[in-house]
Amino acid sequence: MRNFNENTITDAVLDRIKNTSDPRLKQIFNSLVRHMHDFVRDVRLTDAEWAFAIDFLTRTGQKCDGNRQEFILLSDTLGVSMLVDAINHGSGGSTETTVLGPFYVQNPPEYPLGADIHGGMKGEPLYAEGRVLSLDGKPVANAIVDVWHSDQEGYYDVQQIDKVGGLSGRARFRTDKDGKYRFWSIKPAAYPIPYDGPVGEMLTVQKRHPWRPAHVHFMIEAPGFEKLATHVFVDGDQYLDSDAVFGVKDTLIGSFVKHDAGSGPDGRAIDTSYWTMTYVFTLAPAPS
**Residue 245 interacting entry, from ligand BEZ, Fe ion, none, C-beta within 5 to 8 Å by type:** ligand BEZ
SS3 184: strand
Q: Name the binder of 63 from ligand BEZ, Fe ion, none, CB < 5-8 A by kind.
A: none
Partners of residue 183 on adjacent β-strands:
128
> How near is the Cβ of 215 to Fe ion at its closest, in Å?
6
Determine the residue with CB nearest Fe ion. 101
143 binds, among Fe ion, ligand BEZ, none (CB under 5 to 8 A by kind): none
Distance CA 152, CA 114 (A): 21
**Residue 238 CB coordination number (10 Å):** 10
CB of 260 to Fe ion, least distance (A): 29
Contact 63, 255 (CB under 8 A): no
The C-alpha angle with vertex 54 and arms to 100 and 60, in degrees rounded to 5, equals 30
Helix (H) or strand (E) holding 23: helix 23-43
Asked if 275 and 187 touch (Cβ cutoff 8 Å), the reply is yes
Closer to ligand BEZ by Cβ: residue 73 or 228: 73
Using CB under 6 A as the binding rule, whether residue 82 contacts ligand BEZ is answered as: no
Toward ligand BEZ, which CB reaches closer, 143 or 193?
Answer: 193
Task: Report the residue number, 103 or 279, with the smaller CB distance to ligand BEZ.
Answer: 103
103 binds ligand BEZ (CB under 6 A): yes
Q: First and final CA of the chain: distance in angstroms?
A: 47
> Does 99 sit near ligand BEZ (CB under 6 A)?
yes
Single-letter amino acid, residue 199: V
Mask: binding to Fe ion, 94-133, rule CB under 5 A, as x and -? -------x--------------------------------
Q: Of 238-257, which residues contact ligand BEZ (CB under 6 A)?
A: 245
119-148: contacts with ligand BEZ (CB under 6 A)? none
DSSP bridge partners of 185: 126
Selection from Fe ion, ligand BEZ, none that 99 binds (CB < 5 to 8 A by kind) is ligand BEZ
Please enumerate in sequence order all residues whose Cβ is within 8 A of that of 270, keeping only pairs 6 or more positions apart, or say none: 125, 261, 262, 263, 264
Say whether residue 169 binds Fe ion (CB under 5 A). no
According to the binding rule CB under 6 A, does residue 200 interact with ligand BEZ? no
Amino acid at 233: F
Q: How many residues does the chain have?
A: 288
Question: What is the C-alpha separation between 273 and 263, in angstroms, rounded?
Answer: 10
102 binds ligand BEZ (CB under 6 A): yes
**Complex with ligand BEZ: residue 101 or 119, whichever CB lies closer:** 101
Going by C-alpha positions, the residue among 203, 222, 221 that lies closest to residue 212 is 203
State the nearest-atom distance from the C-beta of 73 to ligand BEZ, in Å: 6
Q: Contact positions toward ligand BEZ, by CB under 6 A?
A: 73, 76, 99, 101-103, 193, 212, 245
Which residues form the interface with Fe ion (CB under 5 A)?
101
